[in-house]
Structure 1
Amino acid sequence: MRPPSPSIPEKEFLYASLKDTLRLDGRSLLEQRKPELRFGPELGYVECSLGKTRVIAQTDAKMIKPPPERPFEGMISIHSEISPMASSEYEAGRASDEEVTVTRMLDKVLRRSDAIDKESLCILAGQRVWHLRLTLHFLSDAGNMLDCACLAGIVALRHFRRPEVEVVGDEVIIHPPSERAPVPLAIHHTPFCFTFAFFPDAEISPVLDPSQLEQRLSAGLVSIALNAQREICVLQKLGGVPLLNEEILRLVKASVEKAKELHEFVENRLTEDWMSRTVEVR
């Protein structure tokens, strides 16, 4: 059963509120919901929340033989599935349009942007490399699953540690964590995604991090993926609403400031988690 479409009064009330620069959850137009990160007992497991939107990301690694055309690079694959657990709008075993859009965007942001140094995943050229697998489970859809999934994915990769390996001749020795400390991934930069919703009424300004109702009543979405160093990785526009160059630049500028804040938040949470694990080991 698909959820009922927003009624005409709901639509009119939302539009009237946005014209007065008011949002139903009390946020300003360019205010993001407060992110929350919870780490699992194993490294590479992260549960991320943006309001009531929740996504779990998990990273694991295994050794494989690289393809002949890329003998010096490891591999990264991203798997995501939006099940009926997230919302009754989704069907098990059938990829929705939103799931396809989210998966493609995550691939661009996390894999194609070269956030991770693939050459550092090489163990023995042409023989053994690390294959990283990032799996995302969508627990709840309260709007803007893309930004939540992107944050969960990059934090899971930052949180993950691969086993230390030693190469003796043609033999590869994997050392368990009890013998040698696991090694963090070599990450060049940390991209974050920020999605803005546009509406058909020109009097309504775009809103950052749209709720489910705002997203369903929007006429288009713009997603900007960038890092705290002001480097734009991906800029994606969905929908037919025409946008001026000045409007895009304004959104990019707002995203830059949000990226700095989010980067500091992520660094603090990773440090807190690592310190707590260090204390437990001692």
Structure 2
Amino acid sequence: MEQRLSNTWRMTVNEKKFIETALLSDLRIDGRGPFDYRNVTIQFGSEDGSSEVQLGQTRVMGFATSQLVQPYRDRPNEGTLAIFTEFSPMADPSFEAGRPGEFAVELGRIIDRGLRESRAVDTESLCVVAGKWVWSIRLDLHILDNGGNLVDAANIAALAALLTCRRPECTLGGEDGQEVIIHPPEVREPLPLIVHHLPIAVTFGFIGNESTVIIDPSHFEEAVMGGKLTATLNTNGDVCAIQKAGGQGVIQSVIMQCLRIASVKAADITGKIKKAVELYNTGRALKKIKRHPGSVDVSKAASRGVNNISTEMEKPKLKTEDESIKQTDDMEIEAPSSNKEGSSLGDNKPKSFIGGPSTWDPYSKGVNADELKASLASRDLLLVEVLVRLSTFLFSEVESGQGILYFLRKVPCHLGIPQSRAIISWI
């Protein structure tokens, strides 16, 4: 237990006695119950395969990378998974820089035993050419802050990094068909790792004569506990690994109680990991969606005011109206032959119903500009509203001698063909 005494230099004898007495009375200095877990926060970096987990005051960063290597002779069809841990002196003054210490090696073995030996990662899917090339997954765990229970925090960081890690897609080519071609991410989408299940490590601490058990010990509680037990389970209830470090022996009933509690905590932590990974994948997919060049950037327009947003969104509408008027000109229709032959308006009057733009605007007298703009922007006005708006101008033109048909020939300039036909039939 030399490693657990590394935190004792920061605590006095009275503090140790107080913490131990409180734990024996089922009280914890941070206000938790004996089997309460600290809050878990999972974050991801900008690159695939990077994660950062915060468990209380403990912070661990995981980073997973991949590269092509030659396989082991006894396993020519399987890739490899290697786990490395790094303890920074900034995380805890007791950690020494350089060569990893005994506790760093032990931490890596516990996580490796839960992940690799339980075959959580499908290593056979990492094979490219049997006996020649396989993918090797390297998982680096960096301890950023030691707030206690490094095993659980590092295990969560390792799982989050593996679930977001993606290796480049590769194919075989060349003259002999055995040349490995690695495709960059811009050409082909990288492939995620195949993870069958999530082994979750849950650590218990034993206080006094091993009669008092607590879950997720903090760095202050680790300084006074006599031993600890780490159980690694998945949501199916399978025990992937178990390790008892230090202290006296534990009876079978206590171990079974710890496994039952660990099974419940593993299901809860698994749900948090999957939810965080799902949010990461959703954000990653949204970043690849290209914005339409003709769309309005609301985030940029918001800085210039609401009026500018309306103006930018209104321009394409007005352009569409002009295009519709031009389309109306191309779709000219002639009046019925009865109107052509029986017209008595004179030679200077048109003999056919011809639509098209004109300098004469029937809306030019007594029309509000806002109402005109609204009528042009909306082509779905009801027929009743159209008739009400045009009745005033219709009779005014009749009284001035312009004539009904002379007025109606100007209607397609501002309304569509269906609305014009409806007005003719109404008259």
How far residue 96 of structure 1 moved from its aligned partner, in angstroms, is 2.8
Whether 1:84 and 2:89 are equivalent positions in the alignment is yes
Large movers: runs of 4+ above 6 Å = none
Question: Of 120, 140, 157, which residue of structure 2 is paired with 1:115?
Answer: 120
- Going by fraction, where is strand more abundant, 1 or 2? 1
* Alpha-carbon contact 2:122-2:194 (below 8 Å) kept: yes
Looking at structure 2, the residues matched to 22 and 3 of structure 1 have their Cα atoms a distance apart, in angstroms, of: 20
1:150-165, aligned counterparts within 5 Å? 150-165=155-170
Q: Does 1:198 align with 2:202?
A: no
Q: Following TM superposition, by how much is the alpha carbon of 1:145 offset from its aligned partner in structure 2, in angstroms?
A: 0.6
How far apart are 1:202 and its partner, in Å?
Answer: 5.3
Instruction: Say whether residues 1:255 and 2:225 are aligned partners.
Output: no
Deviation at 1:200, TM superposition (A): 1.9
- The question of whether the paired residues in 2 share the 8 Å contact of 1:196 and 1:206 is answered with yes
Distance 2:160 2:282 in 1: 16
Aligned mate of 2:275, from 253, 257, 268? 268
| Gap regions ≥5 residues in structure 1 | none
Q: Give the aligned partner of residue 44 of structure 1.
A: 49
Give the counterpart letter for 2:148 in structure 1: G
**Is contact 1:198-1:241 (8 Å) kept?**
no
Residues 177/202 of structure 1: CA separation in 2 closer, same or farther (3 Å cut): closer
Aligned residues with identical type, % of pairs: 36
How high is the TM-score relative to the length of structure 1? 0.95
Q: Which residue of 2 aligns with 1:145?
A: 150
Higher helix share: 2
Q: Is residue 24–residue 207 contact of structure 2 (8 Å, CA) maintained in 1?
A: no
| Aligned counterpart, 1:177 | 185
Aligned 8 A contact 2:61 2:142 in 1: yes
Deviates more, 1:181-190 or 1:91-100: 91-100
CA distance in 1, matches of 2:46, 2:99: 32
Report the AA paired with residue 198 of structure 2: T
Between 145-154 and 194-203, report the one with greater CA deviation: 194-203
Structure showing greater relative contact order (alpha-carbon pairs closer than 8 Å, 6 or more residues apart): 1
- Residue 131 of structure 2 is aligned with which of 126, 137, 142? 126
Q: Give deviations 1:31-75, integer Å, cap 9, x for gaps.
A: 111111110001100011101101110000001121222211111
Contact 1:192 1:227 in 2 (8 A): yes
The amino acid across from 1:153 in the alignment is A
1:43–1:202 distance in 2 versus 1, CA, 3 Å: closer
In structure 1, what is the equivalent of residue 38 of structure 2?
Answer: 33
For residues 77-136 of structure 1, the C-alpha deviation after alignment (integer angstroms, 9 at most, x for no partner) is 111111212100111124333212212112211222211111110001111100110011
Is the contact between residue 200 and residue 241 of structure 1 (CA under 8 Å) also seen in structure 2?
A: no
Q: Does 1:213 align with 2:220?
A: yes
Instruction: Measure how far apart 1:175 and its partner are.
Output: 1.3
| 1:3 Cα offset (Å) | 6.2
Aligned mates of 1:207, 1:271 — CA distance in 2: 32
* 1-structure distance, mates of 2:220, 2:260: 26
Deviation digits for residues 182-210 of structure 1, max 9, x if unmatched? 1111112111101101012455x211110
Question: Structure 2: 5+ residue runs without aligned partners?
Answer: 1-5, 290-427
Q: Give the Cα–Cα distance (whole angstroms) in 2 for the partners of residues 166 and 96 of structure 1.
A: 41
2:100 aligned residue: 95
Confirm or deny: 8 A CA contact 1:144 1:209 kept in the other structure.
Answer: yes
Aligned counterpart, 1:227: 234
Query: Greater CA deviation, 231-240 or 98-107?
Result: 98-107
Instruction: Select between 215-224 and 179-188 the one with higher mean Cα deviation.
Output: 179-188
How far apart are residue 242 of structure 1 and its match?
Answer: 2.4
The answer to whether the aligner puts 1:279 opposite 2:256 as a matched pair is: no
TM-score scaled by length of structure 2: 0.64
Larger Rg: 2
Query: Is 2:23 the counterpart of 1:18?
Result: yes
Please state whether the residue corresponding to 1:240 is helix, strand or coil.
coil
Q: How many Å separate the matches in 1 of 2:36 and 2:167?
A: 36
Matched length:
281
Cα-to-partner distance string for 1:218-267 (whole Å, 9 max, x where unaligned)? 10000001111111111100113221111111110000001111111111
